[in-house]
A = this chain, B = another copy of it.
Amino acid sequence: MGNREKIIRGAIELMNARGSAVGTSALAEHLGISPGNLYYHFRNREAIVAEILTRCADDLHAILDVSDQSEISPERFASCYVGGVRVLFEYRFLFSSALELVSSDASLTAAYRKFSETSVGQLKLALSLARAVAASERALTDDDARRFCQNMWLIWTGWPRYAQVNLGRDMDQTDQMECLRHLTLLIEPYVTPAFFQAVSEQAVQQFAQPPKTLA
C-alpha cells in the first residue's frame, strides 16, 4: 500500500476520532511520515477531504442504487440500510463535522449537497418500491415521504456522532447494530408486518456476514 492510500486511510481514522479539524502535522505524525510528504500526493489539505467525500459517496450510492428494480425484495431493502450503516460508520466524520467542512470550502459544499440529495432520492425510490410490495395501510403524502427519508438520513448520519459524543461509545459492531435498530423502529409503522419481519431477519443475517466489497 503506497503512502497515498495510507494518507487517505489515516485521515479517515484520525478525523473519525478527533473531528475534521486534525491538522496536517498531526496527520503526518500519526502516519509516521513527514508533513511535506502530504503535499506530494495531494495539492492541499482540502483535497484529501474531497477525495474521502467522493469515495464515501461512491460507496453509498452503489449500495443504495435500486433504479434497475421495479419492485424491491425484503432482501434488497435490508441490504440498502445494512450496507448504508456500514458505509456511514466508516466515514462518520464527514457527517459529524459537516458544518466545518462545508464552511471551509465552496467546492466541498457543492459536492456534499449533491451527495446527500442523491442519497435521499435513492432512499425515496427504495421506499416507494418497498411500499408497493408492503401495501401498508398507512398512507404517506409525497411531502411526508420526503420528510421520512430525510429523517432516515438524519438518524443514519447522526447516530454515529450521537453514540460517540453523547454516549461516549467506542464505535464497534454493537453501535452499528444499535443504529440498525433505530432505523428499524423508524420504518416499522410504514410497512406490512410480513414485509417488516422479512426485512428484519434479512438485516440481522446480512449484518452477521462480513461486507462483500472488502478485499
On A, residues with C-beta under 8 Å from B are: 17-21, 93, 96-100, 102-103, 109, 112-113, 116-117, 138, 144, 147-148, 150-151, 153-155, 157-159, 161-162, 164-168, 178, 181-182, 185-186, 189-190
Contact = CB atoms under 8 A, between A and B. Distances in A.
B21 A185 contact: no
Between A20, A113, A151, A166, the greatest number of chain B beta carbons within 10 A of the residue's beta carbon is seen for A166
A-B pairs, top 7 by smallest CB distance, nearest first, are: A189-B189, A96-B99, A154-B158, A116-B166, A19-B99, A158-B158, A19-B100
A98 B162 CA distance: 9
Nearest to A164: B99
Interface centre among A93, A148, A182 (most CB of B within 10 A): A182
Nearest to A157: B158
Quick one: copies of this chain in the complex?
A: 2
Given A148-B185, A155-B155, A185-B144, A166 B117 contact: yes
A161 B112 contact: no
Contacts of A190: 189
Contacts of A151: 151, 155, 182, 185-186
A64 B146 CA distance: 28
B167 A113 contact: yes
10 contacts: A18-B103, A98-B165, A100-B100, A113-B165, A117-B166, A138-B189, A147-B178, A151-B182, A151-B185, A154-B159
